[in-house]
Amino acid sequence: MFMLTKEQTKLLPYYFKEKQILSLDGLRAVSIILVIINHVALNYPGSVVKDMGFGSLGVNIFFVISGFLITFLLLKEKMQYGNISLKNFYGRRVLRIIPVAYLFILVLFLLNYRFNLSLGTGTFLRPLFFCENFVDHPTYGPAIHYWSLGVEEQFYLIFPWLLTKGIKIFLRVAIALFFLVPVIVYTNYHLPAGMPWLQMPMNILNSLLGKGMLSILTGCIAAILVFKFPGKFSVKFKYATLIQAGLFMATWFFNQYNWPAGINNIMLSISIAMLLLSVINNRENIVFRILNSRIVRYIGTISYSLYIWQQIFAFQQPWANTGFPGRSIPINLFLLLITAMVSYHGYEKQFLKLKTRFYRVHLQAKAKDNAYAVL
């Protein structure tokens, strides 16, 4: 447990008192654009863009944002109410993720029937139960992007509960995983041929922990630092934009080289977390203004719908051999935007409105002697 005095509480960032953290939607927009660029590049075999790692970079940005936001909100809830309601947390997560995710599976089932795609049962069952990350896909598929949803859902099953047990316990487990996961990843890909009995458990551990879990935990640790050191990340710095540009280049560099045991992904996630803390706290630079411009924020708002639906528009469209719109990338991207907008405004928002049932209304802070228990 660590305590914040009233003076320290006053140093907490502006978004502690507000409903929305500025720049996060902008970062979501950047991440989904990177994913779409990567998948569109697959249409052009000779393109160098498809080998630049934009898709991996975009997903890692999603992961870090997710870990940061979830942890920040849970710590904020703990600070205000004295405890964390896992029931409310899971209620909000279900309403945020399940409706659109399952709608896509239903649409994919109908497309499979309409265009004779010959998709196997596993194509529908794996994303249905969010275990796509347990399969290594040799080829592109219409639902393989659910691997990232699988990583997030499996994170939700363990770590929010762990956070309720105490911040020290959470950090100990997280730090232990930062040492353990690279060993698991390395061992999984370098097992001797004479040890088949170890292959399955190592595959399971690698799928569960080695495909993005550390990126989410990096975001979690960034959120904890905001509470642990109030006021330290709110300093306006005139060289912030230059540092942000440097961090992005470092992120790109680490993403390009497949270092042993996934070390590149760890460095990638740390760079993204540092960038995130910078752009949400420093308002006096052009990066902040771009990320919070109306169009960019809107793209970030519908980014989840864009991510879910882009898989059937960006590459290997089910209708590619039927004429219009065929393989026309501009037309398919336009249709993707329209589909995501309709999905968000006409369907997703109806479920998001229900999330209010899983928020606490009255402040019930448990404070003693002018100190506030966080965890």
Give 332-343 pLDDT, tens digit per residue.
999 999 999 999
Query: Looking at residue 201, what is its pLDDT?
Result: 87
**Mean of the per-residue pLDDT values for the chain?**
85
Backbone phi, then psi, for 5, in 5-degree steps?
Answer: -75, 170
Give 305-323 pLDDT, tens digit per residue.
999 999 999 999 999 888 7
Strand 367-368: give its sheet, edge to edge.
3-5, 371-373, 367-368
Per-residue DSSP letter, 182:
H
Spatial CA neighbour of 134 closest among 117, 146, 121, 119 = 146
Q: How would you label 166-195 residue by residue, b for 16+ Cβ within 10 Å and e otherwise?
A: ebeebbebbeebeeebbebbbebeeeeeee
**Gap between the Cα atoms of 251 and 268, Å rounded:** 5
What angle, 0 to 180 degrees and rounded to 10, lies between the N-to-C axes of helices 167-189 and 196-209? 130
The structure tokens listed for 1 are: 């447990």
- Beta-carbon-side half-sphere exposure of residue 19 (alpha carbons within 13 Å): 2
What is each CA distance from 281 to 13, 73, 287, in whole angstroms? 7, 17, 11
Q: What is the mean predicted confidence (pLDDT) over 92-100?
A: 96
Backbone phi, then psi, for 367, in 5-degree steps?
Answer: -120, 145
**Gap between the Cα atoms of 348 and 342, Å rounded:** 9
**Gap between the Cα atoms of 340 and 303, Å rounded:** 8
The structure tokens listed for 294 are: 């109306």
The structure tokens listed for 94 are: 């279900």
> If DSSP codes are grouped into helix, strand and coil, which group holds residue 367?
strand
Name 350's Cβ contacts closer than 8 Å, sequence gap at least 6: none
What is the pTM (predicted TM-score) of this model? 0.90
Give 132-149 pLDDT, tens digit per residue.
999 887 677 899 999 999
Residue 65 has pLDDT above 60, yes or no: yes
Query: Looking at residue 370, what is its pLDDT?
Result: 38
In which residue are the tokens 């070390």 written?
263
The structure tokens listed for 263 are: 């070390």
